[in-house]
Structure 1
Amino acid sequence: MTTSTDFLVNKAKLDDTRIADTDLGDLADGEILLEVEKFALTANNITYAVMGEMMAYWNFFPAEEGWGRIPVWGFATVADSRHPDIAAGERVYGYLPMSSHVVVQPGKVTDGTFSDMAAHRQPMNPVYNNYRRLAADPAHVPDLEAHRALFEPLFMTSFLIEAFMRREDYYGAKSLIMTSASSKTGMALAQVAKARSPEIERVGLTGSGNVEFVEGLGLYDRVLAYDAVGELDADTSSVVVDFAGNGKTLAAIHTHFGDALKYSCLVGATHWDARGQGGELPGPTPILFFAPDHVVAMTEELGPEGFAMEVGKAWAGFIGDAKGWVDVIRREGGDAVSETYATLLPGNASPRDGFILSL
């Protein structure tokens, strides 16, 4: 029997957390025990918590009543196996809980991947249930494991947003406005747009203290503090991708541009505590972007191999740039995880911080 150490979040009060131990019991036939080596914790994971009930993120890794385990992306080792095709000692990359161990039920096993077929995970999008077997994973670069955990999920979202916008010809807009320009997802979208849609102007909005950092990235054509939205030409047809989730900021953008704003895309919630404070908005109705649905749609359009080729080509160009954007910070233990979460939740981390954690 294995005991897992879990980082638990009060679903009703996200700043209320605790460390708990859970007995996982004995493995059943067909199950494997993953020992979580390390995972990234970013603003993206805060969004998982904020949207936990609405988007069923709490359902991936159930916990005791009223508490949740935030999903993260990271690396794990098979500590024990009762599956005939997966041996103890193998390493994988995928969707994990903020825990030291987790039991999964592999199915759809190939040389390079498997899916967790546990019944409670089947109602959710299958993208989240897929694990990469690192021994046969062409995307695996040992020296870049930290950067993969930090950026790959965010890159995928940004890749899909850019592909969607380009397919729609940016709704006729000339300018792409991105809030939370210092966030890793914002950086990723700016890089992908720069590479694949160079004709669109890239405008980054960020906190006043981050303007210099964001300008130094060289990803945006123009960088402004949030309170300088009024300096933008209100007659320029634009689309906005809102990573921040700050209702007042989004309202200011909608009010400033009015009918010149052609599309309003909601993605994250880095300013989760200010979500919904903007009231009724002029211009287009904001639409939530759910990346897994777009993965399915693009895979159906291009076929699995075609989709993988498109993503791989963009990722290869992206990761070469992304290595210089963050300082990887490695922390271990329950106290370290709690302290890091408490820093990220209110948005107090430096944009250069890339946290890689383990319990």
Structure 2
Amino acid sequence: MTLGIDVVRAAPKVLLHDHLDGGLRPQTIAELAAGIGHELPVADPAGLGGWFAEAADSGSLERYLETFEHTVAVMQSAEALTRVARECVEDLAADGVVYAEIRYAPEQHVSAGLTLDEVVAAVQQGFDEASASGGIVVRQLLTAMRHQARSREIAELAVAWRDRGVAGFDIAGAEAGNPPTRHLDAFEYLQRENAHFTIHAGEAFGLPSIWQALQWCGADRLGHGVRIVDDITVHPDGTAELGRLAAYVRDKRIPLEMCPASNVQTGAADSIAEHPIGLLTRLGFRVTVNTDNRLMSNTSMSKEMHALCEAFDYGLADLRWFTINAMKSAFLPFDQRLALINDVIKPGYDKF
């Protein structure tokens, strides 16, 4: 029998791949938009939530990207950023998330005059306010856009803030035509600074993107990484043969930040039941479960995990495995990761 959604919600969860501008409450978007005179496609908050999910579900990349134009538009003041960040953490905590790394691109929030530093400070204030009461630990990941030329600047920003709430660096945006190797100076800088970073790779584009992220850029984790299955041959008898790159990823325990619902929306997988997460989990890859964009995918960590339970008959032991995988893979100091695993996650699962 499939685990109930209430049980999944009560279990401790760890989130490594979640975009701040992809997780706003519709009510908040409506209120912030009214305050700055930004026109929304639907004014009513309830209808607005439906519009976001429908546009993201349309199969059109243009409509999917249009959704972010509206969320980013209302995130241009320090007050708005702090509110969005605070509500993000409140929503995650209510969903049973005990540790989260939330990513966003500071360069997308400076059109009204904020400096990059002020953007990070505003987000951190929101995180601090929401996590002050305990129950959840949250860190920022600063994202650079791969089609822009500010990656070194954002990498330096991440290092400047690394003892003040920023755990690492990320690069995102259209993979095709924008290889991560264009930003080698940023990655080499981060490596010299002993800093952590993840790279969006192997979502819309295949194995070359993953290979570059790992072997040229030195990524600690792969954002999505779903196309690593292109290097795995499954024989008729069910046995699997790993190519050199897939074997390297598994051997080195490179974490895969998998986002099932999002992948179905963007066409990287046909359905949850057919999502490569099932095969990769069976083969023992370092798989983690994530939300990507909670608003656009109308999802949460509980919904993602519950959907996997329905599709693959996973139980609490599997969810515990995903959660410990993610905590092991977090960009948090080792002793703090260990404390969360031993003092929060394991006892949380032992209650059931």
The TM-score, its normalising length taken from structure 1, stands at: 0.32
Write 1 or 2 for the structure with the bigger share of strand: 1
The TM-score, its normalising length taken from structure 2, stands at: 0.33
Write 1 or 2 for the structure with the bigger share of helix: 2
Higher relative contact order (CA 8 A, sep 6+): 2
Which protein shows a greater Rg? 1
